[in-house]
Amino acid sequence: MPDSEFSFKALAQYGSALSSSPSPQYTTSYQQPIEKNLNRNNETNVSFATVIGNEFKQVFNQLIHSNTIKVVPQYGPPYFQKDHNMVFDDGAFLNVEKETFEVVICGRMQYTKRVNVIKKALAELHYIHGTNGHMRMIDVDLSKTENVSVSVISINKNILDEQSEEKTFQIC
């Protein structure tokens, strides 16, 4: 169903359903809250950004749990490898390459896959940090003696759930 067919009320209700539900399973049952809420007309105070933020947190954490994206330290082994869906922990942020952000993370979101809409919502919630299109440059190690500058989207670590935090802490 195209994004334009969603009403704001349904979106807000969907956000309420996301914030109270466990991690998504990416099946048709996960899509059911959207379809059910499209037919309701209840008022709620959940913002558009909150709905997107809740879904983003669930998707991001699920990808960490399933090892689809791997959190690694910014410096030291395991070293940077292009096209390996790595997230670099610099101590303050989790830094994600643009392609991983857009294809792997945003591509799994159900409400919208529009990257600019997602970035705008995450910026409003202070979940991402950066200037030029919410991007910034960081250096990551290629080996013991080499590093490279990589353009990333920096995500606040406060979106991690307990299981993802433990996994990140064990690696870094």
Site of tokens 């979940």: 127
- pLDDT band for 169, please (50, 70, 90 cuts): low
Query: Given this model, what pLDDT does residue 39 score?
Result: 40
pLDDT of residue 12 exceeding 70: no
Give the pTM: 0.70
pLDDT grade for 82, boundaries at 50, 70 and 90: confident
- Specify the higher pLDDT residue, 61 or 42: 61
The pLDDT value given to residue 56: 95
Domain boundaries, the chain: 3-171
Strands 86-89 and 70-73, sheet pairing: parallel
Higher pLDDT, 116 or 2: 116
- Does residue 86 contact residue 70 with C-beta atoms inside 8 Å? yes
Q: What mean pLDDT, rounded, does the chain reach?
A: 76
Query: CA 23, CA 53: separation in Å to the nearest integer?
Result: 14
DSSP 10-47: HHHHHHHHHHHS-S---SHHHHHHHHHHHT--------
How much of the chain, in percent, has pLDDT values that exceed 70?
Answer: 69
Provide the pLDDT confidence category of residue 50 given band limits of 50, 70 and 90: very high
Please give the share of the chain, as a percent, with pLDDT higher than 90: 27
Structure tokens at 100: 């991983």
